[in-house]
Amino acid sequence: MKDETEFDEIFRAYYAQLLIYALQLINDEEECHDIVNSTYEYVWAHFADVERSTAKAFLYAAVKSKCIDYLRHRDTHNLYVEFCLKQAEEEGPEEEEAAWDTDYRIVCVRELMRTMHPTTRYVLEACYLDRKKYKEVAGELGISMSMVKKHLSKALRLIRERLLKK
């Protein structure tokens, strides 16, 4: 109960000051509330370890650190958005068509894989997606390496035929 009273005193004494401090660093009131609140959540969770005489300095340092992290994240996000927009502008109709064609092929292969025999599908996934060796897949399934090759050949033939049709 004593800790709760001390925490309440610290909260009331510094919350508004910390909020104003955060607003000076980042001009987003909602984000500042989140930062100050998360700082107090951390302090509450570790209140037994907080030195009462240095609580104010600790709170200011924590809020400053969280604000800097927020600004770095925001800057990185903005750079990524700019990069994506620039890439989209640079891509001509050929690249968009090629990307659509690739997506279409992926969808076709996934549909086909759902209809494959479970062993054939497993061999295809293990060899191409999981990059397992034929011997390893054969050992897992209890079949010969030549059977693994046959299942893989069958799967690739089905994929070729499906993609050539469409």
Residue with the two structure tokens 């690249």 = 95
Please give the C-alpha separations between residue 73 and each of 41, 69, 86, 87, in angstroms, as whole numbers.
21, 6, 20, 21
User: Are residue 85 and residue 99 in the same domain, yes or no?
Assistant: no
Tally of domains within the chain: 2
User: Are residue 9 and residue 82 in the same domain, yes or no?
Assistant: yes
Residue pair 159/109 in contact (Cβ under 8 Å)? The answer is yes
Domain boundary among 89, 119, 146: 89
User: Are residue 53 and residue 129 in the same domain, yes or no?
Assistant: no
Domain boundary among 89, 113, 143: 89
User: Are residue 76 and residue 124 in the same domain, yes or no?
Assistant: no
Each of the 166 residues of the chain gets a pLDDT tens digit; together they read 467 888 889 999 999 999 999 999 998 899 999 999 999 999 988 888 888 888 899 999 999 999 999 888 888 877 877 777 777 666 655 555 555 567 777 788 888 888 888 899 898 888 878 888 888 899 999 998 889 889 888 888 888 888 777 5
How many of the other CB atoms lie within 10 Å of CB of 26? Answer: 16
Residue pair 19/32 in contact (Cβ under 8 Å)? The answer is yes
User: Are residue 99 and residue 139 in the same domain, yes or no?
Assistant: yes
Look up the domain containing 31 and give its range: 2-89
Domain containing residue 135: CATH number: 1.10.10.10
3-state helix, strand, coil in the chain (%, to 5): 90, 0, 10
Q: What is the pTM of this model?
A: 0.51
